[in-house]
Amino acid sequence: MTRLVLRTSIVALLLMPAAGGRPADQSFFAARRESLMKKIEGGIAVLQGAPETRAYVAFRQSNDFYYLTGVEVPGAYVLIDAERRRSILFLPPRNRQQEIWEGSRLYAGEEARAATGFEEVLEISRLGDELEKRKSGLKAIYLPLKPEETASTSRDRAAAFESAREQSPWDGRVSRGRAFEQNLKKMLGESASVRDLSPILDEMRRVKDEMEIDRMRESSRIGAMGLKEAMRNAKPGVYEYQLAAAAEFVFRWNGAMGPAYFPIVGSGANSCALHYSLDNRKTESGDIVVMDFGPDYRYYHSDITRSFPVSGKFSEEQTRIYQIVLEAYKAALEKVHPGSTFSDVGSAAREVVARHGYLSKWLHGVSHYVGMSTHDVGSLQPLVPGVVITVEPGLYFPEKNLGVRIEDTVLVTKDGCEVLSRDVPKEIADIEKLMAEKPGLPQH
């Protein structure tokens, strides 16, 4: 395929806001690097960014690399030197042929320093020299040893994939991160003290700063708009993938980079498959739809689920089960505040379900972190302001082709919590009212 590329200043491109957003403030990334230096006192951290894509898909930087740099250039590296209190960004050399096809990129030099806020930006060929300079007397070198997260990737899914590939007798490849570690040890010597940077970055990422919260609010706003449009488009005979397409159109139209994860649109029996992804069934009258979907907005996700009747009206049985799940949701939400734990939140919902006698239909937990990944990183400590989690109770009745899940993205505040995805209705009367509205997308 070919495409016409409009040329412009790479600085302007980096500082240009996504639709509905604001220009990136490089001071946030610099502050994170400074904070990291204090945590690895006397050592250095080296991170590799995501490589060039191997398909015609848009490049998306890895989460840890973007978190510390804000740089969206394939094949970049960063060295963060806590001893010298200095960070160096390494970028690939200029490729003019590639520019003809894909447009301008950032390269080492003054323009890159101005755009990124780094004190020094060098070509990748200089990385080895900079490591050699620090080899003597190096206290420790920190590398992220947990699986890399890029587009639509969460740590749990990536870890399972990498483990299966490495243990396969017909494959056996190690991950990029493991290969990078092995090559650094060869260069620096086996005596080099390599430490895992992942737990440090995970705890930094667990509590969101002002810029992150701003982006997550926008991600949730866009996500809510998308799910509402899907609900307006629901009617018997519509395919699950059409509901997903309606939501994703709204995501992309409003500045999202893409989906945060594959759309889960389960109708009828599929409503009981927790992470159903085929989305190829034609809906039928009487179906309930469990739709779990959210956008990736400027590297930050929202995670939203709504359950609704494809015909626009809940049946008596659907109403009864839905109300139990909604009651459990509200009980759990009351427990989201500083000092509370994931166990507190889950137990509140579980108690409601137990009181109604449906614990056998309870198949999953109620909360997880959300952020740069949908299943975001961080240890399970008591909640503090700035943490973002989900609240998502659900009940599933395969024998009745009936699943119900309600999920929102929730920010912990100093006084309690803020439901970021609150714009999607949850009360039955409000859902039925929304579904009676005219769709905003053209109908065929």
Cα torsion angle, 376, 378, 379, 380, sign:
negative
The number of distinct structural domains making up the chain is 2
Do the domain assignments include residue 4? no
In a domain, 138, yes or no: yes
Q: Which amino acid does the sequence have at 280?
A: N
Final residue belonging to a domain, choices 169, 191, 206: 206
Would you say residue 98 lies in a domain? yes
Helix (H, G, I), strand (E, B) or coil at 156: helix
- Domain-located, residue 92: yes
Distances (CA, A) of 263 to 61, 104, 234, 277: 21, 33, 15, 6
Cα separation, 268 vs 429, whole angstroms: 21
Are 134 and 147 in contact by the 8 Å Cβ rule? The answer is no
pLDDT in tens, the chain (444 residues): 433 333 333 344 344 444 333 446 899 999 999 999 999 999 999 999 999 999 999 999 999 999 999 999 999 999 999 999 999 999 999 999 999 999 999 999 999 999 999 999 999 999 999 999 998 888 899 999 999 999 899 999 999 999 999 999 999 999 999 999 999 988 888 777 899 999 999 999 999 999 999 999 999 999 999 999 999 999 999 999 999 999 999 999 999 999 999 999 999 999 999 999 999 999 999 999 999 999 999 999 999 999 999 999 999 999 999 999 999 999 999 999 999 999 999 999 999 999 999 999 999 999 999 999 999 999 999 999 999 999 999 999 999 999 999 999 999 999 999 999 999 999 999 999 999 999 987 665
Specify whether 192 is located in the same domain as 214: no
240 and 132 in a single domain? The answer is no
Does 364 map to a domain?
A: yes
Tell me if residue 444 falls in helix, strand or coil: coil
User: Do 163 and 177 fall into the same domain?
Assistant: yes
Asked if residue 303 and residue 223 are part of one domain, the reply reads yes
| Domain enclosing residue 414, as ranges | 210-435
Cα torsion at 411, 413, 417, 420 (round to 10°)? Answer: -30
Same domain, 223 and 190: no
**CA distance linking residue 271 with residue 264, whole number of Å:** 9
pTM of the model: 0.93
Examine the domain organization and report whether 17 and 127 are in the same domain.
yes
- Write down which residue in 167, 187, 206 finishes a domain: 206
pLDDT at site 436: 97
Which string of DSSP letters, residue by residue, matches 330-363? HHHHHT-STT--HHHHHHHHHHHHHHTT-GGG--
DSSP per-residue string spanning 79-100: EEETTTTEEEEEEPPP-HHHHH
- Tokens 């945060």 belong to which residue? 260
Would 310 be classed as within a structural domain?
A: yes
Q: Is residue 443 part of a domain?
A: no
d(CA 420, CA 218): 9
Half-sphere exposure of 210 (CA within 13 A, CB side): 7
35 in a domain, yes or no? yes
Q: What is the CATH number of the domain that holds 46?
A: 3.40.350.10
pLDDT at 189: 83
Clarify whether residues 268 and 244 are in a common domain.
Answer: yes
pLDDT of residue 188: 86
Specify burial of residue 25 (Cβ count, 10 A radius: 0-12, 13-18, 19+).
middle
- Report the relative pairing of strands 264-267 and 86-91 from DSSP bridges: unpaired
* Span between the terminal Cα atoms of the chain, in Å: 28
Local structure of residue 173 (DSSP, 8 states): P
> Tell me, what's the pLDDT at 191?
73
Q: Do the beta carbons of residue 303 and residue 405 sit within 8 Å?
A: no
Q: How far is CA 269 from CA 220, 263, 311, 323, in A?
A: 28, 16, 16, 20
175 and 261 together in one domain: no
For residue 441, the model assigns a pLDDT of 78
- Does one domain contain both 38 and 159? yes
Looking at the fold, whether 92 and 174 belong to one and the same domain comes out as: yes
pLDDT at 311: 97
Q: Are residues 328 and 289 in the same domain?
A: yes
Would you call 36 helix, strand, or coil by DSSP? helix
Indicate whether 388 and 291 sit together in one domain. yes
Phi, psi at 323, each rounded to 5°: -65, -35
Supply the DSSP string of 232-244, one letter for each residue. HH--TT-BHHHHH
What CATH code is carried by the domain that includes residue 261?
Answer: 3.90.230.10
Q: Which of 168, 188, 206 is the last residue of a domain?
A: 206
